[in-house]
Structure 1
């Protein structure tokens, strides 16, 4: 895992734009996917954030995926 992947900074949430970068899609595509529920999000006031744990599970990067590989 690269140092700038979700969960590596210790942050519990990331921006929708950052989630889009991990998926290799544009900012607009990431927001569209978030709007459709394809990227898990939470709303804090007007701010839309992606919780890292569910996003990692979606990508197969969660702790359970790592323990299965061991």
Structure 2
């Protein structure tokens, strides 16, 4: 059932969207992104979380 959620998501998510999925605060999401615990990509000065990394975190 959880995989259904990830299948419907785009390849990249904003940090606030990823934080909401993980059930953490926006600030915590940015802290995890900055520390490298949440894999990110930068596009046009914005930071995005790689959706596949959320799936892997959920499986861990």
Runs of 4+ aligned structure 1 residues displaced above 2 Å come to 4-7
Instruction: Point out the structure with the larger strand share.
Output: 2
Q: Which runs of 5+ in 2 are unaligned?
A: none
Aligned-residue Cα RMSD (Å) equals: 2.1
Q: Which has the higher contact order (CA 8 A, sep 6+)?
A: 2
Instruction: Point out the structure with the larger helix share.
Output: 2
**Alignment TM-score, normalising by the size of structure 2:** 0.78
**Alignment TM-score, normalising by the size of structure 1:** 0.69
Higher-Rg structure is 1
The count of residues paired between Structure 1 and Structure 2 equals 59
